[in-house]
């Protein structure tokens, strides 16, 4: 079947189809420009096109300011739905984090508990004894001098008793912070 077509027929057909394709694209997308070039468009419509400027883009300087001014003049300021409030991140928290609870969760007690965990971890890795614990605890006590009179000292002492791999007497626990 293809033997009936010559190269000349193929090139003519490809050229005609290409020409039709480009004419369709030009007429669909560039109709106004082509008519302006040919001078067939009326004077009134070409003058209107020249007078209208393209709308400003969001990234151009001053566009946000103009939009905010127009919106406040026409409609007024936006109002939140009933029962909804704008809060900063410092104004809200999770249950139980008001006042002293928040200070306890973010303050001195969690820091010292973390350091005590590190002491116990180090003791477990190096097979430390009670004597090593007291040496490491004396160093840690220098970092937290306010712990001796802290109201949560009993909770910290209970934590130490629960996690210590050796026996500590109540007298030793009381003398830890002195």
How confident is the prediction for the chain on average, in pLDDT?
A: 77
List pLDDT tens digits, range 13-71: 999 999 999 999 999 999 888 888 888 655 545 555 556 777 767 677 766 655 555 55
Q: List C-alpha distances in Å: 126 to 69, 106, 119.
A: 69, 30, 11
The pLDDT value recorded for residue 18 is: 98
Whether the predicted pLDDT of 95 surpasses 70: no
Highest mean pLDDT among 27-36, 89-98, 108-117: 27-36
Within the chain, where are the H helices? 7-29, 31-38, 43-51, 63-74, 100-106, 108-125, 130-143, 153-163, 170-176
CB 132 within 8 A of CB 123: yes
pLDDT band at 78 (very low <50, low <70, confident <90, very high): confident
Percent of the chain with pLDDT over 70: 70
More confident residue, 132 or 42: 132
User: In the chain, what percentage of residues exceed pLDDT 90?
Assistant: 13
Whether this model's pTM surpasses 0.75: no
The arithmetic mean of pLDDT across residues 138-159, rounded, is 77
Of 42-51, 86-95, 169-178, the poorest mean pLDDT is in 42-51
């Amino acid at each position: 079947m293809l033997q009936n077509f010559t190269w000349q027929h193929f090139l003519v057909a490809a050229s005609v189809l290409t020409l039709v394709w480009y004419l369709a694209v030009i007429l669909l997308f560039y109709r106004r420009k082509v008519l302006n070039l040919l001078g067939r468009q009326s004077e009134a419509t070409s003058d209107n096109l020249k007078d209208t400027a393209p709308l400003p883009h969001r990234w151009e300087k001053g566009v946000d300011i103009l939009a905010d001014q127009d919106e406040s003049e026409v409609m007024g300021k936006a109002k939140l739905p009933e029962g909804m409030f704008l809060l900063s991140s410092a104004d809200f928290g999770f249950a139980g984090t008001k006042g002293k609870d928040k200070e306890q969760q973010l303050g001195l007690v969690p820091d010292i508990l973390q350091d005590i965990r590190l002491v116990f971890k180090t003791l477990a890795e190096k097979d430390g004894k009670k004597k090593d614990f007291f040496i490491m605890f004396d160093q840690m006590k220098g970092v937290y001098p306010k712990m001796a009179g802290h109201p949560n000292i009993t909770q910290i002492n209970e934590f130490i008793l629960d996690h210590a791999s050796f026996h500590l007497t109540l007298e030793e626990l009381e003398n830890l912070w002195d």
